[in-house]
Amino acid sequence: MADSPSHAHTLVLVANRDATSLTAIDIATARDLARAAAPVTLSEGEAVEMACTAPDIAALRAVFAKGHIDVLVTPAGNRRKRVLVADMDSTIVSCETLDDIAAHAGIGEKIAEITRRSMNGEIEFEAALRERVALLRGLPVTLLEKAWKDVKLNTGAIELVRTMGAGGARTALVSGGFTFFTSRVAKLCGFDENHANTLLAAGESLTGAVGQPILGPDAKLAHLRRLVAAQGVSVADALATGDGANDLAMLRVAGLGIAFHAKPAVRREISNQVNATTLRSLLFAQGYRAAEFVTA
C-alpha cells in the first residue's frame, strides 16, 4: 500500500475475537472518521489497517470502545520495531505474581491494595515494593513454587515475542517483579533476555528484603536505551508495553508505546491502548498479518 504525503499515519482496528468480529460498517465508520484510504485486511474479521492523516485517536476509541474493538495509530513508516521491551505482571502474564505469593500466605488483600496504588502511581514504586516484600518476612520459599502454578500467559504472548524475534528484533522481559518468575516466563515465550528484582532468602525462608539495586521505572527505561544502542537503532525503533505507572517512563520514550489493559493513570497519558483485545494487537499495530505470526 503506497502512502500519499497526506497519509502519514496508519490506523489499525482490532476486534476481540471472543466477543465480536469487524464488520464492513465498523471499517466504513473508521474510514469516514479518519478520512482514510482503502482498508487492508490483516486478519479476516479481526484486524484491518488503513492509511490516514493524523486522526483523533481518542474520538475513534470512544466510538468503538463498547464494540470490543481497539484503535491504534502509528506513523506510516518504520512500523516493524527492532526492539521489544515488555513488562511481565498483568502484561505478558495475567496475574500480579507478588500478589499471588501473598495470597498463598494468607495476606493477599493487604498486599494487593498496595500493588493497586503503586501501579496507578498513587505511591512511589520502590517504597511500595519494599513495603510489600517486608510483609513476606519469615514465610517459606516454597510459596514461590505455589504462586508459579497460578501463572498463565496472556493470549498472544508467545506470538508477540517469537514473531518479533523472527523478524530480527531483540526482545526483553523487564519487570519490577522477581527473577524467579521472569526467567521462567522468558523461556516459555522466547524472550532473548529478562531482568527483574531478586527476592532474598535465608535458608528456606524469605528475609523480607529485595536485592539491590531495585529495578524500577528508571531501570526499565535504561534497559530500553541500552537495547536500542546495542541494536544500532534509535528509540523510534522500539516497542514498549506495560500496564502500570512504573512502565510510563519507557512507554513515553519508545517509538511505539502501548498501554496494555492499563491502570487509569497510564491510560490518561498513553494514547495507544489495548483495552479490549490481546497481545496479538501489538503485532497488528506493526503491520504484521496473522499469517505471519510465529507460535513455536
The whole-number pLDDT of residue 293 equals 98
Given 77, 112, 135, the domain boundary residue is 77
pLDDT tens digits, one per residue of 200-258: 999 999 999 999 999 999 999 999 999 999 999 999 999 999 999 999 999 999 999 99
Domain count of the fold of the chain: 2
Same domain? 91 vs 53: no
Residue (of 70, 82, 4) closest to 42 by Cα position: 70
C-alpha cell at 103: 495470597
Same domain for 72 and 166? Answer: no
> Which CATH number does the domain housing residue 33 bear?
3.30.70.260
User: Does 189 map to a domain?
Assistant: yes
Q: Are 177 and 288 in a shared domain? A: yes
Instruction: Please indicate, yes or no, whether residues 84 and 71 belong to a single structural domain of this protein.
Output: no
Alpha helix ranges (H) inside the chain: 24-34, 57-64, 97-105, 108-119, 125-134, 142-148, 157-166, 179-189, 217-231, 248-253, 264-267, 280-284
Establish if 122 belongs to a structural domain: no
Q: For position 283, which CATH number holds?
A: 3.40.50.1000
Residues 224, 87 share a domain? yes
* Structural domain includes residue 265: yes
Q: What is the pLDDT of residue 296?
A: 76
pLDDT by residue (tens digit) across 49-81? 999 998 899 999 999 988 999 999 999 999 999
Give the mean pLDDT of 153-163: 98
Specify if 174 maps to a domain.
yes
Specify if 177 maps to a domain: yes
Domain identity same for 282 and 202: yes
Assign 293 to helix, strand or coil: coil
In a domain, residue 161? The reply is yes
- Band of pLDDT at residue 1, cut at 50, 70 and 90: very low
pTM, two decimals, is 0.94
Say whether 281 sits in a helix, a strand or coil.
helix
Domain shared by 26 and 88, yes or no: no
Residue 50, H or E segment: strand 47-52
231 located within any domain: yes
Examine the domain organization and report whether 70 and 166 are in the same domain: no
Residue 137 lies in a domain: no
Q: Are residues 59 and 88 in the same domain?
A: no
Positions marked active-site? 87, 89
Report pLDDT digits (tens) over 94-141: 999 999 999 999 988 889 999 999 888 899 999 999 999 999 999 999
User: For 112-141, b where at least 16 C-beta lie within 10 A, e where not — what string?
Assistant: bebbbebbebeeebbebbeebbebbeebbe
Query: How far is Cα 257 from Cα 79, in angstroms, rounded to an integer?
Result: 12
* Boundary of a domain, candidates 77, 106, 122: 77
Express each pLDDT in 253-278 by its tens digit.
999 999 999 999 999 999 999 999 99
Rounded (5°) CA angle 177-173-279: 105
User: Could you tell me if 24 and 157 lie in one domain?
Assistant: no
Question: Could you say which DSSP state residue 226 is in?
Answer: H
Residues 47 and 157 both lie in one domain: no
Domain of 8 in residue numbering reads as: 1-77
